[in-house]
């Protein structure tokens, strides 16, 4: 690396060693990504020293803001002992106990290496407990990048958005709209469906909200039909409330998948759930000669340095105060964006639940629209908005959506809104935004 690297020079170097020059497809950007050197609170700085107001926040993992002192100190202290040894340790018990206290569904806890791994394990448990191979998932909901739940992650498509996924696997996945009557019909028509997967926020962390009462209705239907109900709370867990959306809304699934905020923003994940289902992971309780009945490994599950940071985060997040601050800042951001859109005569609006902010362009309501209709917006608009904001110092999470943290302040939100104002004006002038 040169003494004075730039985003462009790092991208050129990256292309020589990584496909597309990136380690995550959503980090790809033309002409090149930004390369972040440090991040603190609700701000971050790239390799060229440029500052950004951060609404990506580690893909929604940093609810406390980047580099929170309590989490950093806990990790630093643990590093003086060991980051990882491959053994049991006391920190994993304390961390599991926190999740047990906070999440209504958490009779027992098993840690994983990521959110994707947590959904893989939860599905394996659902199949083992139900004795049925098929899973029903909701159109457009996202459950990680693994083969078993990839079909249906692209709204409106009944195929996986990737090559290399076998039809033998996708045939076991049934994609349904978020409509209870339609789901009931699928369950009645196909007795091999034993598991139901739902992103608790609605598709893509709530950009496509679930119908009112849907979670309770799907809980009732799963109970009535004897299906294993799994809530994906990888984003909603600890963000919507200290106990996730299930605690906030009073709806308890059989299993819950967790990651991101629940790890203190560090790499890892977890599955929590009913004792009788989670018991299938117990090596001391064999079934049919299998010990454990459901196999699960993972080198870095509950690594001590992750557990240390997560526990420090739990102590803050369990109070609910960080969530209240993040929610208030998201509300300020949504209201401000709507005011700026009105100022420029933009046909669109900002919306969202909890500490999220989504933007829809080309209409005044998303009521009755499908996930495909809501998530499909002109590529020129999406890239124009993202690039225009980024060039002026605001980074969104993805597409036309973002999240806030407890580190955001009214002053930072108002600064960001002025940047939205400039960007909307520029896009309207170019004819990219409909007015």
Residue-wise pLDDT for 314-366, tens only, equals: 999 999 999 999 999 999 999 999 999 999 998 899 999 999 999 999 888 89
DSSP states along 345-403: T-SEEEE-STTEEEEEES-S--TT--HHHHH---HHHHHHHHHHHHHHTEE-SBTTEEE
Domain 34-67+320-430 of CATH type 3.90.1150.10: yes
Cβ atoms of 346 and 435 within 8 Å: the answer is yes
Tens digit of pLDDT at every position of the chain (435 positions)? 667 899 999 999 999 999 999 999 888 888 999 999 999 999 999 999 999 999 999 999 999 999 999 999 999 999 999 999 999 999 999 999 999 999 999 999 999 999 999 999 999 999 999 999 999 999 999 999 999 999 999 998 889 999 999 999 999 999 999 999 999 999 999 999 999 999 999 999 999 999 999 999 999 999 999 999 999 999 999 999 999 999 999 999 999 999 999 999 999 999 999 999 999 999 999 999 999 999 999 999 999 999 999 999 999 999 999 999 999 999 999 999 999 999 999 889 999 999 999 999 988 889 888 888 888 888 898 899 999 999 999 999 987 999 999 999 999 999 999 999 999 999 988 888 876
Predicted pLDDT of residue 119 = 98
pLDDT at site 39? 98
For the beta sheet containing 356-361, the strands, ordered from the edge strand earlier in sequence to the opposite edge, are: 348-351, 356-361, 401-403
> What are the φ and ψ backbone dihedral angles of 412, each rounded to 5 degrees?
-70, -40
What is the structure's pLDDT at 368? 85
All CATH 3.40.640.10 domain ranges in the chain, comma separated: 69-317
Bond into 292 cis (ω within 30): yes
Pick from 290, 286, 272, 311: nearest CA to 73: 311
How much is the pLDDT for 1? Answer: 63
CATH 3.90.1150.10 in the chain, residues?
34-67+320-430
The tally of CA atoms less than 13 A away on the side-chain side of residue 57 is 27
Q: Which value, to the nearest 10 degrees, does the dihedral of the CA atoms of residues 245, 249, 251, 256 take?
A: 10
The CATH number given to 69-317 is 3.40.640.10
- Tokens, residue 226: 């004897």
What is the structure's pLDDT at 51?
Answer: 98
Predicted TM-score (pTM) of the model is 0.96
Residue-level pLDDT at 398: 83
Distance in angstroms (rounded) separating the CA atoms of residues 361 and 340:
13
């Amino acid at each position: 690396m040169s003494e004075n690297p730039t985003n462009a020079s790092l991208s050129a170097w990256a292309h020589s060693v990584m496909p597309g020059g990136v380690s995550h497809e959503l980090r790809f950007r033309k002409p090149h990504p930004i390369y972040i050197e440090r991040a603190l609170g609700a701000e971050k700085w790239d390799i060229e020293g440029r500052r950004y107001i951060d609404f990506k926040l580690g893909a929604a993992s940093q609810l406390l803001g980047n580099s929170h002192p309590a989490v950093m100190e806990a990790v630093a202290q643990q590093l003086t002992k060991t980051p990882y040894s491959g053994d049991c340790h006391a920190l994993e018990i304390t961390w599991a106990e926190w999740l047990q206290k906070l999440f209504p569904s958490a009779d027992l806890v098993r840690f994983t290496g990521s959110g994707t791994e947590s959904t893989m394990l939860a599905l394996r448990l659902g199949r083992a407990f139900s004795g049925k191979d098929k899973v029903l998932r909701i159109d457009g909901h996202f459950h990680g990048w693994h083969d078993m739940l990839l079909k249906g992650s692209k709204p409106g498509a009944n195929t996986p958005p990737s090559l290399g996924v076998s039809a033998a696997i996708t045939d076991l996945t049934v994609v349904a709209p978020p409509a209870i009557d339609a789901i009931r019909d699928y369950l009645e028509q196909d007795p091999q469906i034993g598991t139901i997967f739902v992103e608790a926020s609605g598709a893509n962390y709530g950009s496509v909200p679930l119908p009112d009462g849907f979670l309770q209705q799907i809980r009732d239907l799963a109970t009535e039909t004897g299906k294993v109900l799994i809530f994906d709370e990888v984003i909603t867990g600890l963000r919507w409330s200290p106990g996730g959306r299930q605690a906030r809304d009073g709806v308890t699934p059989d299993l819950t998948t967790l990651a991101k905020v629940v790890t203190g923003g560090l790499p890892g994940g977890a599955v929590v759930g009913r004792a009788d289902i989670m018991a299938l992971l117990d090596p001391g309780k064999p079934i049919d000669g299998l010990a454990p009945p459901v196999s699960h490994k993972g080198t870095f599950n509950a690594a001590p340095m992750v557990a240390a940071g997560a526990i420090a985060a739990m102590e803050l997040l369990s109070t609910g105060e960080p969530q209240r601050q993040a929610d208030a800042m998201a509300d300020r951001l949504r209201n401000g964006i709507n005011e700026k859109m009105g100022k420029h005569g933009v046909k669109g609006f900002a919306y969202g639940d909890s500490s999220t902010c989504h933007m829809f362009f080309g209409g005044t309501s998303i009521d009755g629209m499908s996930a495909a209709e809501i998530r499909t917006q002109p590529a020129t608009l999406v890239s124009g908005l993202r690039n225009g904001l980024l060039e002026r110092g605001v980074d969104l999470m993805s597409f036309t959506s973002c999240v806030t943290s407890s580190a955001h302040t009214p002053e930072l939100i108002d600064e960001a809104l002025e940047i939205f104002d400039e960007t909307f004006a520029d896009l309207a002038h170019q004819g990219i935004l409909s007015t």
